[in-house]
Amino acid sequence: MEETLTLQRLGVPELLRVSFRTTNVVESIMARVEARTAKVNHCRTSDQKQRWCAAALLQLEPRLRKGKGFRYLPQLEVALRTGRTDGSPRRRESVSH
């Protein structure tokens, strides 16, 4: 619930919010990566593991669909950096003592 309210507070468009309501997209990608790298067990360093993961993601990329509202991702980036979607800095709430 908190994540939904955060997306609303940031002003993320509804079409993009739909993509972030569940973790299905990430779970699906990770399952596909695991299927491609499951038999790899001779990696000695984390660098090798990262390369295998990157290679699997590059193989999967052409078959992935764009998420709903993907055109709003630049707007989301601005919102995450500034706390607002219009690009203006976030105002701090003054606390009365």
Q: Read off the pLDDT of residues 19-76 as tens digits, 9 standing for 90 and up.
A: 777 788 888 888 998 888 877 777 677 788 888 889 999 999 888 877 788 888 888 8
Unique residue bearing structure tokens 């993907």: 70
- Residue 10 reports pLDDT greater than 60: yes
Range among 10-14, 50-54, 84-88 rated most confident? 50-54
pLDDT band at 94 (very low <50, low <70, confident <90, very high): very low
Helix axes 2-10, 73-82, angle to 10 degrees: 100
Q: What is the pLDDT of residue 64?
A: 81
36 against 7, higher pLDDT: 36
**In angstroms, rounded to a whole number, what is the distance separating the alpha carbons of residues 1 and 13?**
17
Q: What is the pTM of this model?
A: 0.55
Unique residue bearing structure tokens 């991702």: 73
- Residue 4 reports pLDDT greater than 90: no
